[in-house]
Chains A and B, each alone.
Chain A
């Protein structure tokens, strides 16, 4: 054509901020608000009202503080609250310290990819299964004591000591630690990817600092900032945990969340109102504790800065870190031991007390239980893929809409979408039940799927957001410059490059769905049984072999998904060095 006319002319007059956001973001925000916001808000309101005496279905119309008076008059309430606070703070603080200690000593010798594979069984196992496995391990008649009896201890019958459900809640703290430590480790390893650890380590060591202390003074503060949200999720979860506590926590009095749960589940409807009050107290405790933790952070930051400014080289501090790392490794081993205990018990036919291993092995329990497993298994296998897939689609739509609107907010900042992970489940699950009853969908699989989605979606988004935002935006620009439309770029460029994090996020969503206990029970109205609800129901007093079968199956499903998520990219991208997941 007329070549002389081909020119680029640019005339620019200053830049100023402008508002431009495509409607897609608005639409997705509305969908999320409707699907997540409505049930959470309704759940809180319909729990708050009964806490003040308003529950028309059992004839409560007048607003009163009687539920609170009933709650406060409950014997042992103060001990319940103390137990709740002490176990959650201890579990969270221990998990954090051990995770940092572990990373300080082991990081650099450990490949992130290897760690993912190693931690996968612990990450995938539902909390309930881990609690049951730990009980199998440390109970007076548990595996640990069997291994050392009678040759070391002299026991020929199980001793009469409370090693689980101990009055201090120590077993619960350990149980929480077994699940939260691997979670924090994987979160920290992801955060470390965004920090030039090697260079900073070299810089610190040439200034005369020991490697461990460089980690504590230089790396850890940067990491902490990035893992604050997941850490608060751990804290909120620990304070309000029910399924683990039913297995491991003391019963008289139990932690507050368990107290509320037992009243809600009681056949005596008069208990609903004090239960709602207890649930609201639980909410206040969680909010107060997160607030206090936040203050503690600021204090720790100030002390840490003073300590860093003093310039101590901390060469004597290494043994402390090594001790923390050793404890961390012990906790991980205990976690694997718990899972092994589940497997062994599910295959045991006869296992008299002091024997280290079953005297007779059999698949008999699996065969006998097959008929009883069908429905819980089918429900679990319907809910988990459905919710994780729906969450994945919505998360991708969400992140893509943010990309197109040019938003580069870091993924780990607080956002209303994560509220479901920070509010105690017990504080809004009764209200959510009221909502689904009003909608006439209580006890249906769809309603339970909806309840699972409240927790699956935030976890999937949290898992996917970081790698998504880390993708170089110039890939999409290159594709556009080559004539590819935004949607075509999404399908042909972004999704394939992000295949690995996408599959991992779905696997996490799958595991979250499998693990749900309270939402399944409340919204399902007890009519939708899953492997988790069955396992917890049978955990106390049930035949260990049967419980073992349920818990093994419950852990195996997410693990298989997880391993598939790690393996598929290796197969699909076997001849693409940049994506195969090999270091």
Chain B
């Protein structure tokens, strides 16, 4: 499907991959994230810095992913969802609790620790999902159309929120979308899978 695809994303920048459905955007995300269906075979390498991630299982790649849906775990409270993401290296329950409170404050949701994710609004859930991903201290971020289900105001706001956080952490970000507005606001290089040309 995809052939000869080469992309380097600098830290703190967002590269956008665009293309119609069926062009292999999601498969690309799966390959980078390590979730490729065994029915596919991909050749190629995924590097973060000089480290080769291609052979690593998904949980050891250090690549955070945001999907179209927030995928907050329905059996855990908001706080427990964030704790699930928070890296093990952050030890001590006091310290961990403080980090989670800090993340919630950053998302404008202070005091939401005990809340049931199912009772939050779509925008609130999306922000929690991003904070959960960032608390795992990823070395890169994949965005699989995470804005497409939000309405336009919320969409702009959440997009800004994501890009600002990623830039602050100097993360390389790969955004997959079919929305020109997303690509424009990302501000980085844009790659079109349909035609294969880079703008």
Which residues does A use to contact B, with CB under 8 Å?
A: 1-21, 405-406, 472, 474-475, 477-486, 489, 492-493, 496-497, 499, 573, 575-579
Contacts and interface: CB of A to CB of B under 8 A. Distances in A.
A472 B72 CA distance: 12
Contacts of B136: 481-483
A16 B71 contact: no
24 contacts: A2-B49, A3-B170, A5-B49, A6-B140, A8-B172, A9-B6, A11-B43, A14-B43, A15-B2, A15-B27, A474-B69, A474-B71, A478-B65, A478-B67, A478-B71, A480-B57, A480-B59, A492-B84, A493-B73, A496-B73, A496-B75, A497-B75, A577-B116, A578-B118
B28 interface: yes
A474 B35 CA distance: 9
Nearest to A472: B71
Nearest to A18: B41
A477 B65 contact: yes
B150 to A, nearest CB: 17
B38 to A, nearest CB: 4
> Which of B12, B38, B67, B138 has its CB near the most chain A CB atoms (within 10 A)?
B38
A15 to B, nearest CB: 4
Give the dominant DSSP class at B's interface.
loop
Contacts of A11: 4-6, 43-45
Nearest to A577: B118
A531 B49 CA distance: 67
Contact of B174 (A1, A8, A479, A576): A8
A240 to B, nearest CB: 40
B38 A20 contact: yes
B93 interface: no
B132 interface: yes
A499 B74 CA distance: 12
A406 B39 contact: yes
Which 10 residue pairs of A and B lie closest in terms of their CB atoms, listed nearest first? Answer: A578-B74, A480-B58, A577-B118, A5-B49, A406-B38, A12-B44, A11-B44, A496-B75, A578-B118, A18-B41
B75 A405 contact: no
B44 A13 contact: yes
A10 B11 contact: no
Contacts of B50: 5
Given A13-B44, A575-B116, 20 more contacts: A4-B11, A6-B11, A8-B32, A9-B6, A11-B43, A12-B2, A12-B3, A12-B44, A14-B2, A15-B41, A15-B42, A18-B38, A479-B73, A479-B84, A482-B84, A482-B136, A484-B59, A576-B116, A577-B119, A578-B118
Contacts of B45: 9-11
B46 A482 contact: no
A10 B5 contact: yes
A475 B71 contact: yes
A479 B43 CA distance: 25
B79 interface: no
Given A14-B1, A482-B132, A8 B47 contact: yes
Given A482-B84, A578-B117, A9 B65 contact: no
Contacts of B48: 6-8
A484 B74 CA distance: 17
Interface in B136-160: 136, 138-140
B73 A480 contact: no
Interface in B62-91: 62-65, 67, 69, 71, 73-75, 84-85, 87-88
Contact of B10 (A7, A21, A575, A577): A7
Nearest to A407: B38
B180 interface: no
Contacts of A477: 33, 35, 58, 65, 67
A337 B159 CA distance: 61
Contacts of A479: 59, 73, 84
Contacts of B42: 12, 15
Interface in B1-35: 1-12, 27-28, 31-35
A481 B32 CA distance: 11
A9 B139 contact: no
A15 B40 contact: yes
Nearest to A7: B8
Nearest to B136: A482
Contacts of A493: 73
A13 B4 contact: yes
Contacts of B172: 6-8
Nearest to B132: A482
Nearest to A473: B35
B133 interface: yes
B109 to A, nearest CB: 18
Interface string B81-119: 000110110000000000000000000000000001111
Contacts of B49: 1-2, 5-7
A9 B85 CA distance: 25
A501 to B, nearest CB: 13
B195 to A, nearest CB: 17
B1 A10 contact: no
Nearest to B30: A477
Contact of B75 (A18, A406, A573): A573
B5 A12 contact: yes
B37 interface: yes
B117 to A, nearest CB: 7
A481 B27 contact: no
Given A14-B1, A477-B65, A480-B57, A405 B11 contact: no
B140 A10 contact: no
B3 A481 contact: no
A6 B32 CA distance: 15
Contact of B47 (A9, A474, A478): A9
Given A7-B9, A7-B172, A575-B116, A12 B43 contact: yes
A9 B133 contact: no
Given A482-B132, A484-B84, A10 B41 contact: no
